[in-house]
Structures are given as C-alpha cells and as structure tokens.
Structure 1
Amino acid sequence: MAGRKTIILARHALLLGLLICFAATVGSRTAAANPAQMISDFRLKHGEKRVALDATLTRIAHDQAQAMAAKDQLDHDVLGRFNTRVGPAGAGRAAENIAYGYDSFPKTLDQWINSSGHRKNLLLPGATRVGVASVKSAKTGRMYWAMVIAGDYERPKAPKGSPKSSPKDSPKESRQASAAKPKSRAAENCRLKILSLCF
C-alpha cells in the first residue's frame, strides 16, 4: 500500500513539474510576443526610450488595419491623411508603419527593421507610446498590420489669463512652428513626407 501511495505522489509531482514548466514557457512566449515590448527592446538597443502600449494609438492602428483588410489594399491614406487620423492621440510627433502578408508580429517587425524608412519610424525620437493591430482580409486571407508610434505629447495648457510664453522662452517650439508652414496646398498638413507618411 505504501508503494502505491509513493507512485501516485511521484506522478502528481511529475505532473505538477510539467505544468510549471509549461506555464513558464507560455509566459515567456507571451512576453516575447508583446509588440510594445519587442519594439522597446529594439529601441533600447539603438539608444531610444521604451514605448508603452496606448489604447488610443491601438484603436487608430486597428482602424487602419481594418480598412486596409476590407479594401484588400496596402495604403497609408485608405482612411484619410495620417495626421488627421492620429490627431485624437494628442501627440506632437507620430509615425505609422503598415505591412501585409505576415502571419505574426515578429515577422512583421523584422521586415520593418530591415527597411530604412520603417526602421526610422520605429526609432522615432521622443516616442513613448505605441499601438499595433492586425486584421485578416476576408477576401484573400492576407493579414494587414498597422503600427502607430508617437511622442512629444502636448503639455497642459496654461490657465486663461496667464501670460503666454514668448518665442524667447521656447525657441525650439517657434522653429518647429515656422518650419511647419506649408509651401503648397498639397503639403498643407505635412511637415515631412517619407514613404507616404506625413510628419
């Protein structure tokens, strides 16, 4: 009887050990597959700050991926101009990467890392937040991806009646404002356009 109890306890111990190993493996895969963590790891290796997942940016990315999948078309402007779509995030600067055909985020990220324009967006200086989404096309089964990365969030506005800062107080901001003046009607909402991205 004692031998049988020992065998049962040994089986339970083995089963418990396997469950612990399995849980640890699944947990590490989940952590490794987290898009914000993967992007942060890449950014940290290149001297940029970590980014956190942001609900607003994720919604913007999801809307973009969903629209591309619905039209089965890879296009930054499928829902309108990027700077208009990203406006609700309140960021001072933002960038978007899109892709299709990859079944996982690690593969998609690898493609972006190996493309100079996409890589530049991943390393956007001052970025602190990111949103990533994918949607599968019902027509072709292609997976469409969108990533929106942003930073330089607006500072709280001064209360009414308080003195406004002069250009001497913030020369960087005044240079950015003057540099952002459009030179043509087509460039009205774009400071810089790279790979159909407006900055």
Structure 2
Amino acid sequence: MAGRKTVIPARHSLLLGLVICFAAAIGSQPAAANPAQMISDFRLKHGQKRVTLDTILTRIAHDQAEAMAAKDKLDHDVLGRFNTRVGPAGAGRAAENIAYGYDGFPKTLDQWINSSGHRKNLLLPGATRVGVASVKSARTGRTYWAMVIAGDYERPKAPKSSPKDSPKASKQASAAKSKPRAAEACRLKILSLCL
C-alpha cells in the first residue's frame, strides 16, 4: 500500500505538469488579430496605408448589419442610400462591403479579397479608418457582415505659380476682363459711332 500512495501523487504531478505545459503553449500563441489589423495587413501588402478602427464607422456598419439580419436580406440600401448613412462620419471618400454566411471575420475577409469589387473597396486609396460589425439573424441564424472604410477629404493642391500668376499680371487680367471692349458693347456701329 505504501508503494501505491507514492505512485498516485506522481500521476497527479504528471497530469498537472501536462496541463501547465498545455496552458503555457496556448497562452504563448499570438492573439487573433482584430478586423482593422487584418484589413491593414492586407492593405500594407498592396501599397496602401494602415486603417484604424473608428467608432462612428463601426456604428454605421453595425446598424447596416443589424438591419440586414432583421430583414434577413443582403442589401446595401436596407437602411437607405450609403452616402446618406455615411454622412455622419465626415468622410471625403468611403466604401462599404457586405456579406453573409461566415461566422468569423477571417473567412469573410477572404471572401471580399477574392471578389474584385470588394477587393477594390478594401484597397480604397487614402482610407485611414474602418468599422466592421456582424449580427446574426434571429430567424435563420445567418451571420450578416458590414464593413465601412473611409478616408478624409483630399486637400486641393495649390497650382504652381508662373510669371503669368504674378500679382501685377493678375491685376491686369482682371482689369481687362471687367472693361468691356467698345466693339463688344456696340449693338450697331455706323461710321465709327457706337449705337
């Protein structure tokens, strides 16, 4: 019996050691990337800038996903026109991707990457912000996804100045434009008289 008592604690120790090793292995794996990180990684590989998660865009995406799930219908206009919905974000340019079917974002992102139109939206030039949301339909259990990606307005580039653009040249040009020429002001010209 004495031999048995020493074996049981050894088994427990071995089992406890395995559990600790397993937990350490799980804990050392990198955490799953969030949607903004995954989209940024894809954009960086294709020469575009990183995007950050934006609360306003996330709310817009959530409202869209929720409306699609409630109606169980994949539709960009389920809540109205996109330009109207994205207005509160103050974006100069924006695009939306929607999808349904996959429960996880990685597969949804792959689906968008492999679709030319959705891929173009993911690579929207000048985009700096993104919002992503999913909602499961209570009726069918289908998961609906919406992503809104946006960038700010582009500032117009100042034209390069040339000798014609000097202040003196500008004054002369505006003076010439404001004075009507005598011939243009005449309705009828007889013997050099303007009538």
| TM-score, normalising length: structure 1 | 0.68
Per the TM alignment, residue 169 of structure 1 is displaced from its structure 2 partner at its CA by 3.6
* Structure with the largest fraction of helix: 2
Query: Aligned residues: percent identity?
Result: 76
- Whole-angstrom CA distance in 2 between matches of 1:98 and 1:168: 34
Residue 164 of structure 1 is matched in structure 2 by none
Aligned to 2:91: 91
SS of aligned partner of 2:76: coil
Q: Say yes or no: does 1:20 pair with 2:24.
A: yes
Deviation at 1:11, TM superposition (A): 6.2
- TM-score of the aligned structures, taking structure 2 as reference length: 0.70
Unaligned runs of 5+ in 1: 156-166, 172-199
Task: Tell me if 1:122 matches 2:126.
Answer: no
What displacement does 1:24 show?
Answer: 2.1
1: CA distance between counterparts of 2:142 and 2:113? 21
1:141 is matched with: 141
- Asked whether the equivalents of residues 58 and 132 of structure 1 are also in contact (C-alpha less than 8 Å), the reply is yes
Task: Count residues with an aligned counterpart.
Answer: 155
- 1:103-150 residue CA offsets vs partner (Å, 9 max, x unmatched): 211111111111111100000001111110011111111111000001
Unaligned 5+ segments in structure 2 are 1-5, 161-195
8 Å Cα contact 1:70/1:138 also seen in 2: yes
Counterpart Cα distance in 2 of 1:170 and 1:133: 42
- 1:3-42 matches, within 5 Å, as 14-25=18-29, 27-28=30-31, 30-31=32-33, 34-42=34-42
The 1:170–1:79 alpha-carbon spacing in structure 2 relative to 1, beyond 3 Å, is: farther
* Counterpart mapping for 1:72-111 below 5 A: 72-111=72-111
CA–CA distance in structure 1, aligned partners of residues 159 and 63 of structure 2: 35
More displaced stretch, 16-25 vs 38-47: 16-25
CA RMSD of aligned residues (A): 2.7
